[in-house]
Structure 1
Amino acid sequence: MNWHWDCEDFPATGALQQSAAYACAVGACGGRIARAELRAEGQVLARVQVMRRAGLAVALRGPVWADAVEPGLPRRALRRLARQTAFERRAALVVLPEQGVRGLGIVPLMTPRHVALWDLRPGPEDLRAGMTGKWRTALGAAERHGVRAIAAPLRTLPALIAAEGVQRQARGYRALPGAFTQALPASALRLWQWRQGGRAAAMMCFVRHGDWATYHLGHADAAARAAGAHRVLLWQAALALRAEGVTVLDLGDINTEEAMGLARFKLGSGAALHRLGATCLVLPG
């Protein structure tokens, strides 16, 4: 069992941070990404993308495992990866894994985060039935009052980035910079908007990566919030992504301490709470 670096063929599956779209944007912004796959007896067991920064190799939401793995294998594989990054790339390995990893050589640095993952495999009727009653009622009210989501062209992206930047400053939350969004491959972006009075009152941007998609950023003015436009945008985007073959829509972090309303919005859609592993320093093994 060994990790092999600089893989060209890296199928897109799993979280955005382990996708080719993410690697493309990081590279365009001056970052360094390396890819490796774990091979044993001719089989690929896992793949991972790591970012290099200031003596660290950072793997976010990875590795992505090919199949169910035997207990203990993730820890052994990560320690072997840490050994290779230490000796071959002069970097310490820090991971935020999709699933928790514990044991000898795994040093927790931060407590686990939670994200909202929406399984889009059920049919539209079942997806709608999976919403909380309050969420579904508000969605229906917005639809009855004429709120309609339309796919937006890529040329609207700068306006969304600018509007979201103003919104972010006003609300005090953190997000990836606009330059990162602009560096994402155009073929991966899906934009939706609700127009009122000749302008986009609400906008959402998603990133498609393989059979997953990720909510990336959005904006809504006061009128759009009052009309419930974001529920309609998210619902119509989910249906469109499902029709493309997307099976999981990642709605991002759940933070009940600082953003309870946003957490209720994400989970009310029918998305499930998913606990990530703790951010860890991996000791070479």
Structure 2
Amino acid sequence: MRFPDRPLPQSTEFAETCAHLGIALQRHETHEAVWQSRQRRVPILGAVDIVSRGPVWHCAAAPKAWLNQVKRPLILNADGIDATALRAAGFWPLVTPATLALLPLGTPVAMRGALRQKWRNRLNRAESAGLHVTHNPLRDANHWLLQAEAAQASAKGYRGWPAVFSAAYAVANPGAAQLFEAWRGSQRLAGLLILRHGSMATYHIGHSAEDGRKTNAMNLLLWQAMLWLSGQGVTRLDLGMINTQDAPGLARFKLGTGAARHRLGGTWIWHPCLTPVARRLPRFMAT
């Protein structure tokens, strides 16, 4: 059975990476859906299955039937399931929904036409600034971009993807981790790592030096990545979460590509001890 595009955590490539790292990941498939899960021990609750950005549905009516079949403790980062259905199935809300930027890919003319004016102007300036872009599969587990991401995550206090995951993805899925770098002569200005998975791809890591920001190097890198991915038959690029309050500049950068906002369903837990109360939650607590 053919299922729609799968986000990174639900992709075959993600499963191959986990296998390479020795992380147990279970694949499940029914007539209605396909999903991947891993298990974690949670204090007090014990063993809990975790499903991120899944399941991937075969039809619009599938979520309700799937939810009613849940019998084991489960943490679900829901996508495509509304809060009413989750509450009715006895899920308890943990984290409010995040919003992603999803970019449809097409012909160069169509993609350029979808760029917002300010984004297009920055791209025009970058294209006329004498920069050049290199593009290769990621091969170095100690690549400067992976180190820069780790340092930035530590400095800003957020949890990014560990370098070992990125390196393992490249090894487990040859050619699927694509590295784009912008240069001015011998000076490296910025880097971008894209992960391909099926007919989708994910903006995984991006980093720009000060001169890279001044020359709009990231606009040029992302544009070149869009062109290459489209030429490879990729139909959607996941640009990751957007947060207009805490990171408005990054949100504008992502949405300026013509990407659409996609609101996830939040993070929920199903546990037999919580189910009776969860079904009676006030509506404002389950949205």
* CA distance in structure 2 between the aligned counterparts of 1:233 and 1:213, rounded to whole angstroms: 15
**Larger deviation, residues 169-178 vs 9-18:** 9-18
Q: 1:14 aligns with which of 6, 12, 29?
A: 6
* CA distance in structure 2 between the aligned counterparts of 1:119 and 1:257, rounded to whole angstroms: 25
Is the CA contact 1:98–1:277 (under 8 Å) kept in the aligned structure 2?
A: yes
1:96 and 2:81 correspond: no
1:272 and 2:264 correspond: no
Name the counterpart of 1:245: 233
Q: 1:44-123 counterparts in 2 under 5 A?
A: 45-54=32-41, 55-66=47-58, 68-70=59-61, 73-80=62-69, 82-83=70-71, 86=72, 92-101=73-82, 102-103=84-85, 104=88, 105-121=90-106, 123=107
Is the CA contact 2:18–2:25 (under 8 Å) kept in the aligned structure 1?
A: yes
Aligned length: 260
What is the identity percentage for the equivalent residue pairs of Structure 1 and Structure 2? 38
- CA displacement, residues 127-151 of structure 1 (integer Å, 9 cap, x when unaligned): 1121111111111111111223221
- CA displacement, residues 59-92 of structure 1 (integer Å, 9 cap, x when unaligned): 11100112x322xx31331231x21xx2xxxxx1
Provide the TM-score with structure 1 as the length reference: 0.84
Shift of residue 12 of structure 1? Answer: 8.5
Is the CA contact 1:208–1:214 (under 8 Å) kept in the aligned structure 2?
A: yes
Is the CA contact 1:12–1:20 (under 8 Å) kept in the aligned structure 2?
A: no
Is the CA contact 2:26–2:37 (under 8 Å) kept in the aligned structure 1?
A: yes
Q: Cα 1:125–1:10, aligned 2, differ >3 Å: closer, same or farther?
A: closer
Shift of residue 197 of structure 1? Answer: 4.1
Paired residue type of 1:37? E
Name the counterpart of 1:236: 224
- CA displacement, residues 150-185 of structure 1 (integer Å, 9 cap, x when unaligned): 213423562221122223334443301111111112
Is the CA contact 1:11–1:210 (under 8 Å) kept in the aligned structure 2?
A: no
Name the counterpart of 1:217: 205
1:203 and 2:169 correspond: no
Tell me the secondary structure at the aligned position of residue 218 of structure 1: strand
Name the counterpart of 1:42: none
Tell me the secondary structure at the aligned position of residue 187 of structure 1: coil
Is the CA contact 1:167–1:219 (under 8 Å) kept in the aligned structure 2?
A: no
Q: 1:124-163 counterparts in 2 under 5 A?
A: 124-156=108-140, 158-163=143-148
Give the superposed CA RMSD.
2.1
Gaps of 5+ in 1: 1-8, 40-44, 87-91
Paired residue type of 1:146? G
